[in-house]
């Protein structure tokens, strides 16, 4: 019977050592330790910036060879109020204000537009050299001059 106790003790010991390891407590499953992955450092780049350009105005002297010019009607004035062009240039008056206006020659001809409301325009092509003065038929204090050279 002693032998049975020894056999039983050895079997129990092997069973305990097999399940719990040598120290008698269960061995934890190793957990991987997270490691930091370096992130790519962005390389700064320069974004091209647009260069400032002057805003175009409708009230501009004609560019050479364009044979076109325009005059804004705004805030009860013609802008520019004086314009020099060459023969064959078409000048367009554009009403940018809220009040209605006209383009009327001081002598009645050749400039004689209809009533121009906001956003409407009227054009005239100058075929003869000379100085042409005009006004708004409704607002007589609004005046302008077109000088036409050959």
Decide if 43 is inside a domain: no
Q: Does a structural domain hold residue 24?
A: no
CA distance 111 to 83: 15
What token pair was written down for 127?
A: 């075929």
The residues, any chain, with a CB within 8 Å of residue 87's CB and separated by 6 or more, are 126, 127, 128, 129, 148, 149, 150
Question: Is residue 87, in this structure, part of any structural domain at all?
Answer: yes
**Torsions phi, psi for 19 (to 5 deg):** -85, -40
Residue 9 pLDDT exceeds 60 = no
Give the three-state DSSP class for 79: strand
> Is 31 within a domain?
no
| Model pTM score | 0.58
pLDDT the model gives residue 33: 57
With respect to residue 83, please indicate whether it lies within any of the assigned structural domains: yes
Structural domain total, the chain: 1
**Inside any domain, residue 30:** no
Smallest CA-to-CA distance from 67 within 104, 46, 92 is with 92
- Least confident piece of the model among 46-50, 93-97, 125-129, 145-149: 46-50
More confident residue, 5 or 118: 118
Can you give the CATH number for the domain in which 92 is found? Answer: 2.60.40.420
Q: Report which of residues 118 and 60 the model is more confident about.
A: 118
Q: Which domain holds residue 105?
A: 68-149
Is residue 48 situated within a structural domain? no
Distance in angstroms (rounded) separating the CA atoms of residues 82 and 133: 9
Q: Nearest 10 degrees: CA dihedral of 133, 138, 139, 144?
A: -20
φ/ψ of 73, rounded to 5, equals -110, 110
Is 119 among the domain residues? Answer: yes
Q: Are 132 and 111 in contact (CB under 8 A)?
A: yes
């Amino acid at each position: 019977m002693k032998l049975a106790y020894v056999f039983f003790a050895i079997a129990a010991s092997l069973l305990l050592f097999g399940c719990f390891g040598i120290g008698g407590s269960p061995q934890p499953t190793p957990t991987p330790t997270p490691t930091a992955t370096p992130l790519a450092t962005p390389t700064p780049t320069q974004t091209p910036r647009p260069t400032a350009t002057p805003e175009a105005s409708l009230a501009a002297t004609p560019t050479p060879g364009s044979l076109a010019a325009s005059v804004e009607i705004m805030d009860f004035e013609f802008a520019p109020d004086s314009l020099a062009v060459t023969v064959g240039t078409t000048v367009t008056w554009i009403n940018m204000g809220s009040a209605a206006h006209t383009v009327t020659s001081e002598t009645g001809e050749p400039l004689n537009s209809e009533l121009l409301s906001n956003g409407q325009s009227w054009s005239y092509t100058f075929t003869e050299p000379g100085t042409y003065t005009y006004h708004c038929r409704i607002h007589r204090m609004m005046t302008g001059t077109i000088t036409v050279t050959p």
